[in-house]
Amino acid sequence: MSPHPSEAPLERRSIISGIGQSDIGRRLGRSDLDLTVQAALAAIADAGLTRDDIDGLATYPGMGAGTPGFAGPSTPEVQDALRLQLNWHDGGGEGPAQIRAVIAACIAVGAGLAKHVLVYRTVSESTAQGEGGRAGIGGSGGGGRGVPRFSGFLQWSLPFGAVSAANWIALVGQRRVHEFGLTREQLGQIALNGRRNAALNPHAVYRDPLTMADYLAARMVSTPLCLFDCDAPCDGATAVIVSHADYAGDTPHPAAHVNAVGTALRGRPSWDQFDDMTSMAARDAAASMWERTELTPADVDVAQLYDGFSVLALVWLEALGFCGRGESGPFIEDGTTIARDGSLPLNTAGGQLSGGRLHGFGLLHEAVVQLRGEGGERQVPGHPEVAAVANGGGPIAGSMLLTRHR
Amino acid sequence: MTADGPPFRLLPRLDADNRFFWTSGADGRLRFLRCRACESFVHPPAPRCPQCLSEYLTPEAVSGRGVLESFTLNVQQWVPGADPYIVAWVSIDEQSDVRLTTNLVGVEPDDVRIGMAVKVTFEHDDDVYLPLFRPAGGGA
């Protein structure tokens, strides 16, 4: 329950009133600002608003962060491009994973700082890597001299060739093999499930059928992760409008109500020092989310869980309590539980593995689509009432519970 | 194939806090900050002991022995033509919650097991001594 039992959690004053996406694809060759404006205007119209109604703006991770194509445009660029008049604005990369920007918007709306916040996440990594070559975190190539040196947490991993998130998450994966007996066939179900759903999503980047034989034959990236365990860089922007719940009756599409957010980080905030090497921050974010709601894991009808790497979806299934610690492998083993007609439909637009690396916001977008009942061919049956969204992995995690009714 | 390190190394920027750690291997010893008040080993280096907030932290040599906590064979060629190499998490025998990301070297990838005993070895690169680990078998 809420830490302050007399009051409902502040985030329940917020709804997601509108959603929008730009074109999504590989090497679109368009600027990140162009993609962002396309998604923003779609989301504003979807919410039944005009840009004059938008008084808040937020993004993750903000200006200049990360490798080329990663950050998307800064909030000043987007504000200027749309000539927004803002009462509140926020862009940053630290916090409860990518969804931190949405959570910040909920807090701003709840506090009365803004009524309608445009929140966006844009990536143009596919085009950027097409121009500049594929880069691991911290760049590629070079020797000891004449190459930038590293401070902060990166100094503890980059010297050892742990240059990509694939390496860091592979270490989590191998630890799960050791502690829980995780198999490649279990891991492969995340990739296969995503591909089956992507086949019904016209905007997904990979839609051709994928079999377990294809999966098992794929080349390794960093054991136990193969090519199909790693998501694909793409170009695309996702925007959502976070509005005050007072607006819920006036939205053209059914509003998605924010029920609870998960923001905790209680363990040490680094890959190699976190106490539990199999779960990390997802454990804490999920726990804090359930502390803020009367809903339980059994109430969740559809789950959109971060799968930038397949292992992370397993981590979230356990962290959110859909199965016990270490039990996610058997839980998904036959593929039926997480299928669209299963007890916990998972990543119904294809996730990031097949839908493309929209970096958390694609999962949020799909949760709203499913709660609205607008999933078309991929709509899960039975009018889902509660959706869980989770972003991030390792020492970075955030989550959100959305409901169809208040 | 015996695993070696990665094809290139991105090096740490040395400063007043980390210099002792990254140059410790000059005499073949691995060192961590240790709190003189509560005796905790502290890593990464910090201005105060995160356990008891004492300011009295000094580098102390450890045995160099540890346990392999997890590993991955990196196959992806971040630079063209590079051989696979093993990235590992190793905890130190003196305190099991102090871990290093490192390379496991001098071992066949098929022989690697989580829980195996490992021992530090240093690779000298410019002004840095990188602590790597190899199997501790044979009493070496």
Which residue of B10, B124, B128 is the best one to mutate when testing the A interface, meaning the one whose CB has the most A CBs within 10 A? B10
Helix locations, A320-406, DSSP H: 328-332, 351-355, 361-372
User: Which residues of chain A are within 8 Å of residue B8 when distances are taken between CB atoms?
Assistant: 141-143, 161
Enter the pTM of the model: 0.96
β-sheet with A302-305: strand ranges across: A88-91, A56-59, A116-124, A235-244, A14-21, A256-262, A396-403, A386-393, A302-305
Q: Mind telling me how many Å the CA of A219 is from chain B's nearest CA?
A: 9
- Predicted pLDDT at B140: 43
Q: Mind telling me how many Å the CA of B91 is from chain A's nearest CA?
A: 9
User: Which residues of chain B are within 8 Å of residue A150 when distances are taken between CB atoms?
Assistant: 10-13
User: Cα(A43)–Cα(A21) distance, rounded to whole angstroms?
Assistant: 7
User: Which residues of chain B are within 8 Å of residue A157 when distances are taken between CB atoms?
Assistant: 101
Check if the beta carbon of residue A397 is closer than 8 Å to that of residue A96. Answer: yes
Within A107-193, strands assigned E span: 116-124
User: Cα(A208)–Cα(A358) distance, rounded to whole angstroms?
Assistant: 19
Residue B126 and residue A144: Cβ atoms within 8 Å?
yes
DSSP codes, A97-128 = STTHHHHHHHHHHHTTS-SEEEEEEEEEHHHH
- Predicted pLDDT at A68: 87
Q: Is residue B14 part of a domain?
A: no
Check if the beta carbon of residue A361 is closer than 8 Å to that of residue A16. Answer: no
B46 → chain A, closest CA residue: A152
Q: The domain containing residue B87 runs over which residues? A: 19-139
Cis peptide before A61 (omega within 30 of 0): yes
User: Which residues of chain A are within 8 Å of residue B89 when distances are taken between CB atoms?
Assistant: 171, 175, 272, 277
Q: How far is CA A365 from the centre of its chain?
A: 9
Q: Dihedral (C-alpha) B108, B110, B114, B116: value to the nearest 10 degrees?
A: -50
Q: Phi and psi for A254 in degrees, rounded to 5?
A: -55, 135
ipTM: 0.96
A172 → chain B, closest CA residue: B70
Distances from the Cα of A102 to the Cα of A20, A196, A367, A369, angstroms? 14, 28, 14, 17
Q: How far is CA A242 from the centre of its chain?
A: 16
Q: Is the domain covering A10-129+231-403 a CATH 3.40.47.10 domain?
A: yes
Q: Is residue B133 part of a domain?
A: yes
Number of Cβ within 10 Å of residue A377's Cβ equals 10
- Predicted pLDDT at A145: 53
- Identify the three-state secondary structure at position B125: strand
User: Which residues of chain A are within 8 Å of residue B99 when distances are taken between CB atoms?
Assistant: 272-273
Burial class (CB in 10 A: 0-12, 13-18, 19+), A373: middle
Residue A161 and residue B6: Cβ atoms within 8 Å?
yes
Q: What six digits make up the tokens of A113? A: 């700082």
B83 → chain A, closest CA residue: A161
User: Which residues of chain B are within 8 Å of residue A171 when distances are taken between CB atoms?
Assistant: 70-72, 87-89, 101
User: Which residues of chain B are within 8 Å of residue A162 when distances are taken between CB atoms?
Assistant: 74, 87, 101
Check if the beta carbon of residue A125 is closer than 8 Å to that of residue A231. Answer: no
% of chain B exceeding 90 in pLDDT: 89
Residue A138 and residue B13: Cβ atoms within 8 Å?
no
CATH code at position B102:
2.40.50.840
Residue A142 and residue B8: Cβ atoms within 8 Å?
yes
Q: Kindly report the length of chain B.
A: 140
Q: Is residue B4 part of a domain?
A: no
Of the partner residues B11, B79, B132, the one whose CB lies closest to the CB of residue A141: B79
| CA-based R_g, chain A, Å | 20
Check if the beta carbon of residue A396 is closer than 8 Å to that of residue A169. Answer: no
Residue A156 and residue B100: Cβ atoms within 8 Å?
yes
Angle at A404 between CA A402 and CA A406, to 5 degrees: 85
Residue B9 and residue A143: Cβ atoms within 8 Å?
yes
User: Cα(A298)–Cα(A338) distance, rounded to whole angstroms?
Assistant: 14
Of the partner residues A143, A164, A272, the one whose CB lies closest to the CB of residue B100: A272
Question: pLDDT 10s per residue in chain A (406 long)?
Answer: 445 556 899 999 999 999 999 999 999 999 999 999 999 999 999 999 999 999 999 999 999 888 889 999 999 999 999 999 999 999 999 999 999 999 999 999 999 999 999 999 999 999 988 865 555 444 444 444 568 899 999 999 999 999 999 999 999 999 999 999 999 999 999 999 999 999 999 999 999 999 999 999 999 999 999 999 999 899 999 999 999 999 999 999 999 999 999 999 999 999 999 999 999 999 999 999 999 999 999 999 999 999 999 999 999 999 999 999 999 999 999 999 999 999 999 999 999 999 999 999 999 999 999 999 999 999 999 999 999 999 999 999 999 999 999 8
Q: Is residue B2 part of a domain?
A: no
B133 → chain A, closest CA residue: A160
Of the partner residues B14, B78, B125, the one whose CB lies closest to the CB of residue A136: B78
Q: How far is CA B63 from the centre of its chain?
A: 12
Of the partner residues B10, B87, B88, the one whose CB lies closest to the CB of residue A138: B10
Q: How far apart are the first and last CA of chain A?
A: 16
Handedness of CA A61, A162, B22, B39 (dihedral sign): positive
In B32-62, which positions are buried (b, 16+ CB within 10 angstroms) versus exposed (e)? bbbbeeeebbbbbbeeebeeeeeeebeeeeb
Angle at A149 between CA A360 and CA B29, to 5 degrees: 110
Q: How many structural domains is chain B composed of? A: 1
* Mean pLDDT computed over B76-93: 95
Q: Is residue B72 part of a domain?
A: yes
* Mean pLDDT computed over B18-39: 98
Check if the beta carbon of residue A99 is closer than 8 Å to that of residue A398. Answer: yes
User: Which residues of chain B are within 8 Å of residue A148 when distances are taken between CB atoms?
Assistant: 10
Residue B9 and residue A272: Cβ atoms within 8 Å?
no
Q: Kindly report the length of chain A.
A: 406
Burial class (CB in 10 A: 0-12, 13-18, 19+), A315: buried
Say which residues have a Cβ less than 8 Å from residue B53's Cβ, sequence separation at least 6: none
Number of Cβ within 10 Å of residue A180's Cβ equals 18
Strand partners, A216: none
Residue B126 and residue A145: Cβ atoms within 8 Å?
yes
Q: Do strands A235-244 and A88-91 pair parallel, antiparallel, or not at all (unpaired)?
A: unpaired
